[in-house]
A and B are shown apart, each in its own frame.
Chain A
Amino acid sequence: MEKTTAASLRHIIPDSQLNEWEREELIEQLTVYDPRLRQAVLEQIAIIWPVSHSLCFAFIGQLRQGLDCLEEKQLPEWVKGILAAYEAGGLQAARHYMSDVENNFLCRLRGESGLLFAAARGKLAHYVRGISGRGLQIEAAPIVATDTATIFLPREISFYQDNSENFQVYKLLATYQWGFISRDLYCQKHGALSLPGKEAEGDDALERYFRSFGNQALAQDMYHLLQTVRVSGFLQAEFPGLMRDLRPFFALLRVSRPDFQTLSGVNYLFEQARHWLLGYLGDDRTINIDGHLAEILAAARRNEASSADLLAAAADWYRFCSADDQSYAPLPPLLFQGEFRPREAHGARLARRANARQKFIEALAAILPPASAPDSTESEEEEPQPPAANVVEKGATISPLPPAKAGKNEAEFPQTAEPRFICLDDERIALPEELRELAREIEEDLGGLPSFYISSASQKAGGRTSGRIKGPRQDDGQPLQGELLYNEWDFRRQGFRQDWCRLILKKVHPVKGTFVSSTLEKYRGQIMQLKRQFEMMRTQHLFVGRQRDGDDVDLDALIEAHADVRAGMVPSERLFIRLLRDKRDIAALFLVDMSSSTEGWVGTALKESLVLLSEALDSLGDRYAIYGFSGMRRTRSEVYHVKGFDEPYSEEIRGRIAAIAPIDYTRMGPPIRHFTGVLAKVDAKVRLLIILTDGKPEDYDDYKGEYAIEDTRHALIEAKAAGIHPFCITIDREAQDYMGHMLGEINYTFIDDVRKLPLRVPEIYRMLTS
């Protein structure tokens, strides 16, 4: 047996490349596997060996542990991942990838080593949202860092045996990274970084600043370390519990740092400062730093220090070491400090800026009176070009509130003066809440509202009434003929386009497969709980008193009537309690977005939520129907019949749910109007129209942006006027501003985590109807 292995191995690795004892050791390691598995392993060795010999040895070393987790047939896929990691980040990265099998594959066995990001994520994401007050993302990555939109954390933390302690480390890393964002590490607040020279759109001033140093890496690292000192002080003030709990961890980090006594020059100073900080955080004040560096560190720790102060302090420190700057040999940063990534942060800032600009223009256009539009003949299609720099031009001014009360709360609740009005052609227009916030965000970024934001908005608003604007936006087609035609709301003329859309009813053909059964399996526990909760709703109000007839006498009412008789009154006839079998007189119609954007996770989660919902509603007994919608252009708006009100929840229906798939676009108006009509005919006390979607309405033609939002909004208002309760559940990474406008007239909720959707939908239903 060993012979064949040896022969195969020799075939892959010629004698010249491996000495005898290495070869023997390899064979020994391979013989522990059964022949078939060994063959599979050999095939992989044949792939890895030519790429890198050391990687191949590392692979064989990790194989045992990997196979605890993987099945034989997953081996090639794993190796593919290893090679990809190797190509991207060398042996180190490949090793990391290998030791992380659990995270990369669904494992048979759970290792007992550290805490995986995947396991910590749910709790951590809530935590980060809570402390930051916004939808900051968290993601696993090979480094610790933040680009100010996402916090990157390691895939696994295994400092401790006990995973609750490992979680504390995750928490510390996340809190520090948020601390960097909140203290403006990347100088993104306007004015934090004032440099000579004109700032051009898209230019990253911070990077440019550091490039001006002889040794850019050194200058950056100095600045980053000083910021870490400052953020540490900030966190000690704001999160004293966390910083106290983790003292032993800081001490642990310290013992694993290189000994600074063995270093010299700038390297000595750097590492000494790190030791000092860790000591300080671990409540060990034995490391003393003196001289100039001590002053710099003390200044960095001051609470009032701004990012600009720290840039200056770093420059000072740099000058102090400049004789030595070429001998700088960077050591890894402190774990919680992570990497300094100005470029990525700048990218995120630009994305945010563009997003804010678009949102602002759209939202402002929606409230501007059309009359304020400049009388221009410019083509409407052309987006006005931003002026070269982020200058605030005259013409548009914003008047702020009186400065908010300053005080000790300032650090944590920065209260900048908030713009309240926009002055346009001497007209004062009050800003609604959402716009005020946007305007504040923009001012913080750019130092003012560029006037072209406002002129773009008023131009946009101007398009609303004037019939002069040509192009495809205006009536470009004939009313359609035939059945199921629906009007569409055109906000520019504040009227309907008659019979504008054709709706087509389609069937969904059930598929056989494992989707439903695996969903039922996956959520078995939760489904049982859901059913119990829903059954309880059913029995909640089983008895009603003061009825004309019923199953039992209502004692309270009877006594009252008796007293009435005695008092010479005509007693009430409502003396009975009745058992109500169907008091919950509710009919709910679920309208599911089947546009192509739901492809993938969202689509799966939508379907899972329908399964869970159906299970729960089945035990409750409320009437419900499920339809999907999609389509393309106004001539083909499609709705898909999944379950009608009168159909029982059956195998057939389950098959249809499983068959739901992403198709085309999202024209929301026609299906909403169609089902408003359907629901209006249903005989029920409460009629609900619950829409599940993943974002903005949009069709292939001109059904986009403001037009689509306004039509959808109008359709929902029509539904409400028809006595129906529309409710919208939107899946998105963060709450979008258009939602407030589009759905403001009705109730809605957004869900930022797809994984939560399946359980949230029944919960929302329960909340809505109890």
Chain B
Amino acid sequence: MVTHSQKIEEHFIAEKPFYLPQKNELPVALAAYANGLPLLLKGPTGSGKSRFMQFLAWTLKRPLITVSCHDDLSTSDLVGRYLIRGGETFWVDGPMTLAVRHGAICYLDEVVEARKDTTVVIHPLADDRRQLAIEKRGELLTAPKEFMLAVSYNPGYQSVLKDMKQSTRQRFVALELNYPDPGLEEKIVCHEAGIDEQLARSLVRIAAMTRGLKDAGLQEGASTRLLVHAGLLVREGILPRDACHVTITQALTDDDELVGAIDEMISSVL
């Protein structure tokens, strides 16, 4: 019986990721790390959660293993499974096991999407036991102090089917990453899309306007990510209004009136 392990080296982050802190997220996360507490990142889509995790991993010089959760994600997908090749079976560690073994940071993106039974493995890892049971192998791993569990969650989705259970929430140190302040967001967009300040500033203003429509028609306003996308298209030579239409307007809604209104905001500003 052979154990195959993915290469952990691939998960180290070589270059310093570009990240501008919104407030005290870095010191808080470092303090949580120092005390073996898991992290919950709350915030709307595209607000920098993944980017922050990369930055944190780089700062801590630990590998980052990210799992995007979906409704078919089972415990074996996290912990690992046996596979057969050439008549031989071998064990493959799942991402969670890999992270525990190597003292990496394991980041479960959109954790509420995962199947409910995954809590069985998340809970013991997220409290002071810090344990991962690999049932099939009869192994019980205790996470080294370098290991960190982080999950993300978007409270904006109001689906009752995707509510996070209290027993899960109350295990984590929760950090809220909302949309950055205008000045900061401007800098982010400038840097990420490689566009000039003035255009970045206009894009940020458009985003602020769409965020004002949240709950008044829109489910969510334009995220920083959308602004970066718009900027990238402009840099490729697409006309600014067209670029915003395809990246911002169409991403936000299908409602004709709202599409019209957002396009009007864009054409007012650009």
Partner-B contacts on A (CB < 8 A): 122-127, 129-135, 167, 171, 175, 238-242, 245, 405, 407, 409, 412-413, 541, 545-546, 559-560, 562-564, 566-567, 569, 686, 688, 725, 727, 735, 747, 749-750, 752-753, 756, 764, 767-770
Contacts and interface: CB of A to CB of B under 8 A. Distances in A.
Given A239-B268, A405-B183, A413-B182, A129 B83 contact: no
B86 to A, nearest CB: 11
B217 interface: yes
A560 B138 CA distance: 17
B236 interface: no
A126 B259 CA distance: 10
B71 interface: yes
B212 A133 contact: yes
A241 B84 contact: no
Nearest to A750: B215
Interface size of B as a range:
35 or more
Contacts of B68: none
Interface of B: 1, 71-72, 74, 76, 81-84, 88-89, 91, 136, 157-161, 163, 182-183, 201, 205, 208-210, 212-213, 215-217, 219, 241, 257-258, 260-262, 264-270
A132 B212 CA distance: 8
B258 A562 contact: no
A750 B214 CA distance: 11
Nearest to B83: A563
A126 B217 contact: yes
Contacts of A546: 74
Contacts of B157: 767
A750 B217 CA distance: 10
Given A241-B269, A767-B158, A130 B209 contact: yes
Given A241-B241, A747-B158, A752-B216, A130 B267 contact: no
* Max chain A Cβ within 10 angstroms of own Cβ: one of B257, B261, B268: B268
Q: Which of A130, A135, A749, A770 has the most CB of B within 10 A?
A: A130
Contacts of B261: 123-127, 130
A702 B122 CA distance: 50
A742 B106 CA distance: 38
B65 to A, nearest CB: 21
Contacts of B72: 545
A312 to B, nearest CB: 31
Given A245-B267, A567-B91, A770 B258 contact: no
B268 A241 contact: yes
Contacts of A735: 215
Contacts of B159: 767-770
Contacts of A769: 159-161
With most chain A CB atoms within 10 A of its CB, the pick from B88, B159, B183, B261 is B261
Contact of A566 (B81, B89, B217): B89
Nearest to B258: A126
A312 B201 CA distance: 33
A127 B219 contact: no
Given A238-B269, A541-B71, A567-B82, A688 B160 contact: yes
A769 B201 CA distance: 37
B84 A562 contact: yes
A186 B118 CA distance: 60
A122 B160 contact: no
30 contacts: A123-B261, A125-B261, A126-B213, A126-B217, A127-B264, A130-B210, A130-B261, A130-B262, A131-B268, A133-B212, A167-B264, A171-B264, A239-B268, A239-B269, A241-B266, A407-B183, A409-B183, A545-B72, A559-B83, A563-B84, A563-B89, A564-B82, A569-B136, A688-B160, A725-B160, A735-B215, A749-B158, A749-B215, A756-B217, A769-B161
Contact of A770 (B161, B217, B266): B161
Nearest to B264: A127
Contacts of B205: 238, 412
Nearest to B240: A241
B121 to A, nearest CB: 15
A250 to B, nearest CB: 15
A768 B156 CA distance: 11
